[in-house]
Amino acid sequence: MKQNKWAVLSTALTLFLLCGCTASIAPSSQHTVAIVAKSTQTEFWLSVFAGAEAAATEYNVELIITGPKAEEDYETQNQMVANAVDAGAEALVFSAIDYENNAAAIDAAAQAGVQIVAIDSNVASSAVSTYIGTDNYAAGQMAAQSALDRISGPLKVGIINYDISSANGQEREQGAVDTFTQSGRAEIVGIVNTLAEASHAQSDTTALLEKYPQINVLLAFNEPTSVGAANAVESLGLSEDVFLVGFDSNVATVDGLQEGSVDALIVQNPYAMGYLGVESAYKLLSGQGSSLERTVDTSTKIVDRRNLFTMDSQKALFAFEQRTIE
């Protein structure tokens, strides 16, 4: 069964189509752009890097890719920003682990003449020329609404979020909470902020579900927390009792979607974040910065068992390239 599933998908893995990513002729001079990501360990970030590399090839950009191993390690991320500046980066494509505590490093880079593009998770710096990523508040609303549309009667909701200092996770949570509150039939029973690592998320989800057995809806807001939540639901035998909405695409959560431990996934477009991030950096460096929008929504798609095997869902779900960043 698994073999057939991947065979169905194999022809759909070329590109998650990008709106606005049009080709242009690259000049002979080469600029240096550094991506400082939140992590290099997840399928989400591998897709970001694949998009970034495609744009770097298109625009003849020398690309540096780096990021800490742990998504909570903003101090290492700050050092990586400084290292990129020292290495000659002319522009930074940056995703903030900590909205406030990453700001000084970004401000210092900007003062050194480096152009700043934010992707995925913004930073508290006026030096950011453009933000490219998901409308995270709307994505949280989408996650909550998917449960409201599918579950009749009262909803008892648990939320598994990651670092409380990360802007995108907090925006998703707020969108979900507001939507549930406005529905008049949902109660937020418990919210957990866990590490963005699947085993920690599984332990914390298990503890939450055991403490509040009345939970019948569970939301997890990024790839590692979604994998951990799915593992917890499956190991506790609660697939029929808990409606789980996760974020992003991972082999484990896609398997869970097919087999029952996951009920819906809010799938972002990380390839577009990477591509448009590098493209925007190039435009800033080549005198085209005035053409950039302050905010670019790269869109999200909800995938569940009803549309799992449609072509659009397959394009959204599966990463382009698996590789490790040293």
- In the chain, ranges of CATH 3.40.50.2300 domains: 9-134+271-299, 136-267
Which class is domain 136-267? alpha beta
Q: Which of 124-128, 249-253, 300-304, 316-320 has the weakest average pLDDT?
A: 316-320
Best CA proximity match to 168, nearest among 106, 99, 248 = 99
Give mean pLDDT, residues 98-121. Answer: 98
Q: Give pLDDT tens digits for 60-90.
A: 999 999 999 989 999 999 999 999 999 999 9
Tokens of 108: 């210092």
Residue 14: pLDDT band by 50, 70, 90 thresholds? very low
Give mean pLDDT, residues 159-188. Answer: 96
Global pTM reads 0.87
Give mean pLDDT, residues 260-287. Answer: 97
Average pLDDT of the chain?
90
pLDDT of residue 23: 38
Neighbouring C-beta atoms of residue 192, cutoff 10 Å: 18
pLDDT of residue 18: 44
User: In angstroms, rounded to a whole number, what is the distance separating the alpha carbons of residues 184 and 196?
Assistant: 31
Q: Give pLDDT tens digits for 189-233.
A: 999 999 999 999 999 999 999 999 999 999 999 999 999 999 999
User: In angstroms, rounded to a whole number, what is the distance separating the alpha carbons of residues 311 and 256?
Assistant: 19
50 φ, ψ (degrees, to nearest 5):
-65, -45
Q: Give pLDDT tens digits for 30-67.
A: 999 999 999 998 999 999 999 999 999 999 999 999 99
Neighbouring C-beta atoms of residue 291, cutoff 10 Å: 9
Report which of residues 15 and 151 the model is more confident about.
Answer: 151
pLDDT of residue 28: 46
Determine the topology of domain 9-134+271-299 in CATH.
Rossmann fold (3.40.50)
pLDDT of residue 320: 54
pLDDT of residue 319: 52
* Buried residues in 162-183 as b, exposed as e (16+ CB within 10 A): bbebbbbbbbbbebbbebbeee
